[in-house]
Amino acid sequence: MTSLPTRKIGPFTVSAIGLGCMNLSHAYLPKPDLGVAERLLCHALDMGVTFFDTAALYGFGANEELLGRTLMHRRGEFTLASKCVLAEIDGKRGLDGSPAAITRVLEDSLRRLKVDHIDLYYLHRLDARVPIEESVGALARAVEAGKIGAIGLSEMSATTLRRAYAVHPIAAMQTEYAPWVRNPEIAVLDACAQLGVGFVAFSPVGRGLLAGSPHAATVAQGDVRHAMPRFQPPHLAANLALAGRLAALAKEAGGTAAQLCLAWLLAKGDHVVPIPGTTSAAHLEENLATLSRAWPAALIAAVDALFPFDAASGPRYPREAQAQVDTETWAGEPLA
């Protein structure tokens, strides 16, 4: 097993780049076959990745089952993270942050993952019908019962983080963060640093578009990106042009666009851990190679300059998904 540079997420020491496991079972097309997914997970562990992120929502439990079947014979080698609140309800994606639902989903996650303890367990989204104190309280009781090790939040604001933290220490905030999504810089990134909360950046390469993925540029019906405004005309052409300029910066520096996105995130603070997802062993190795070289401050600043807050064209979520997001928005941000 290779050793990678590490960072702290709450009480956990994890590889500075983790693995987002969602697209092995959920959301993006084409989906890999099970053999490819299993080999990718094992290869990530062999390459030194020690932070694996899943959720009850992904594949309506299939992703947790995949990790449970594939990795748990090496359980002591990595930090395991999963999520509740968003899950399958009556055969569809549903949102329920009630303590009863959280307890039920956690038990299902433990069973699918084949474990009796999950290291880091997130509230996947804010359920506005339930006070955050009640949802966090349910997870605090799970900590006391030894079923989870630490509590995380996802796509929530600095205000919500502070309310949650008043109930129980929060180990991590997970939010979309990439050059074209800089909302965490409004308030929550600093709040995490002040409170000692790790920041986990999902979709760090723009759901593939900033990394030049052909699948991101021509998304098919059934791919979650098909409904996202930034992947639809007229926004797509402008965003592809932006991605092209990022790729040119990376090439001039001797790297790839994906590596430059990850390097940019790592430079945002020692408490930031990106979790790119991939179905490709080659792309996994490319991502991890980001950690093996220095990235000049001037290059990071050039990415900042290329991506002001309003650089991307179009809202990042369709209307229904945006309604479940609690993160701060910048003045004038287009919302679905």
Any idea which residues carry the catalytic annotation? 58
Tokens of 193: 């640093």
> Judging by DSSP bridges, how do beta strands 118-123 and 92-95 pair with one another?
unpaired
Query: What is the C-alpha to C-alpha distance for residues 122 and 296, in angstroms, rounded to an integer?
Result: 34
DSSP state of 219: P
* List of residues 6+ apart from 105 with CB closer than 8 A: 56, 84, 85, 87
DSSP state of 33: P
Which ranges in the chain belong to alpha helices (H)? Answer: 34-46, 62-70, 99-113, 132-144, 158-167, 188-195, 214-217, 235-252, 257-266, 281-289, 297-306, 319-322
Query: What is the C-alpha to C-alpha distance for residues 324 and 81, in angstroms, rounded to an integer?
Result: 21
Among 264, 140, 268, residue whose Cα is nearest residue 198: 268
Rounded to 5 degrees, what are φ and ψ at 98? -70, 150
Give Cα 9 distance to the centre of its chain.
14
